[in-house]
Amino acid sequence: MNSNENIFDRLPDDVVFLIFSKLQDAKSLCLSMYVCRRFQFIVPRVSEVFLPIPRRRAVLKDNGEEIVTIKRGFMNPVFRILTKPFHFVSRIIKFKSRNAENDCDSWSYYEPNDVLKPFEEIRALHLRLPCHVIQKPCSGTGKSNSKTFLRWKADFGDQLRSCVMLGAKSWTEKCKNEENFQQTVPGSEHEQRVISDGEMKLRIVWTISCLIAASARHYMVQETVKNKKMIETVVVSDESDQGWLCMNKEQIEELKVSGGMGMECRSRLPALRMKMWYSEKMELPGCGKVMDGATLVVIWSAGNGEAEGRSTVDLVRAAFGGEGEEKVVGDFARKLVGGKKCYVLEMNSF
C-alpha cells in the first residue's frame, strides 16, 4: 500500500453517502462539500436535513434602543473569506470569548433557502428556530417562581388544519411535605368550578399567540417547500420545544397547488372552532408533577371536514406523544380531555 494513499478513498460512494445521511446537520454537510469534489457530488443527495437557524445579532443605537440587522453582503462566500481575518483580529483585541454560546457574529446569520439550495433530493426537513429566553418555559424545576408552561403543535396544508395547545400558569414538582393538597379528578366539583373572566382572557391570549406563531412559521416554509420537488415532511420547532409545526406529503402538495398566501408576514388563519378544558389544579401521581391552571385547547378549521371528523382524543394523541417529558405532557392533555366541563368557542378568520 502506498503511504500517500488515502484509505478513505477506498470506501464505495454508497458507504460514504450512508455516513453523510446519518449526519443530517445542514451546517456540517455544507462544510463537507468544500472538502473535495467527491463530497460535493455525494452530499447533496442526502434526503434528511436538520437546519438550526442562528439568532440575528442585536445592535445597540446611541440611545440604547436595540435593533436587529442582517447584512446581505455577508452572505457572499467571497466577502466572508475576505473579512474573516479582520473579525479574527477584532476578537483578539476585544478579548472576546469563543465559549459564549449565545454570541453570534453578524455575518453568521443565514437564510434557510440559501443553505438548502444544494439539497435537491430532500425528503424530510427539520428547521429549528432560535429562542430568545435562556431558560425553557417548562423546566419543571419545582421552584415557586417557575414560568408559565405552554406547548403546542399545529398541522397545516394550504392553511391551518388543526392545532392542540396545552398551557398552565405553572408546572412544578409536588412538595413531599404538602399534606393538604387536593388532587383534581376529572368531573369533580373542584374541576367544574367556572373559569373567571380574567383566566379566560389569559387563555385566549395564549391561544392567539400560538396561532400567530404557527401561521408565521407556515409562511416561512412556503418558499422552501415550493422549490423542493421530493420533499415529504416538514417540521419547524424552536430551541425551547414550545411549538411544533408539522406538514406531511399530502399537506405539502396542497400548499404547492394553492401557490402560497401572498406577501403577508404570516399566513392568514381561517375561521376556527375550538374546545377548551380547564382545571384549577391537576396532578399526575405517577410523575409527581403539578399544573396550576391547566388548560387544553383543541382547534380545527371550520371548513376542514377531516379534522372535524376526528375525535379530540385522536387529535391530542397525535399532538403529544413520545417518551420522557413529552409523554408526561401527553398524559396531562389526555387527563384534561377526560373532564366533563368543556368550553366551546369560535374565532373568525384573521
Q: Residues in the chain, how many?
A: 350
**Start-to-end Cα distance in the chain:** 69
pLDDT of residue 173: 78
As a whole number of angstroms, the distance between CA 318 and CA 316 comes to: 5
Q: The pTM is what?
A: 0.74
As a whole number of angstroms, the distance between CA 172 and CA 152 comes to: 19
Strands (E), the chain: 48-52, 58-60, 66-68, 124-129, 149-156, 160-168, 170-173, 233-238, 243-247, 272-284, 289-301, 343-347
For the segment 65-122, what is each residue's pLDDT rounded down to a tens digit? 544 444 443 344 434 543 444 444 444 434 434 444 444 343 455 678 888 888 989 9
Please give the backbone phi and psi of residue 349, each rounded to the nearest 5 degrees, phi first.
-60, 145
As a whole number of angstroms, the distance between CA 130 and CA 67 comes to: 16
pLDDT of residue 58: 52
- Distances 131 to 4, 237, 239, 276, 322 between C-alpha atoms, Å: 47, 10, 5, 27, 22
What are the residues facing 173 on neighbouring strands? 289
Cα atoms in the Cβ-side hemisphere of radius 13 Å centred on 234: 27
SS3 content of the chain, % helix, strand, coil (to 5): 35, 25, 40
pLDDT of residue 101: 41
C-alpha cell belonging to residue 244: 411544533
Regions of the chain with pLDDT less than 70: 1-5, 56-110, 132-146, 175-193, 260-264, 304-310
- Distances 282 to 127, 152, 178 between C-alpha atoms, Å: 33, 19, 14
pLDDT of residue 107: 40
pLDDT of residue 285: 73
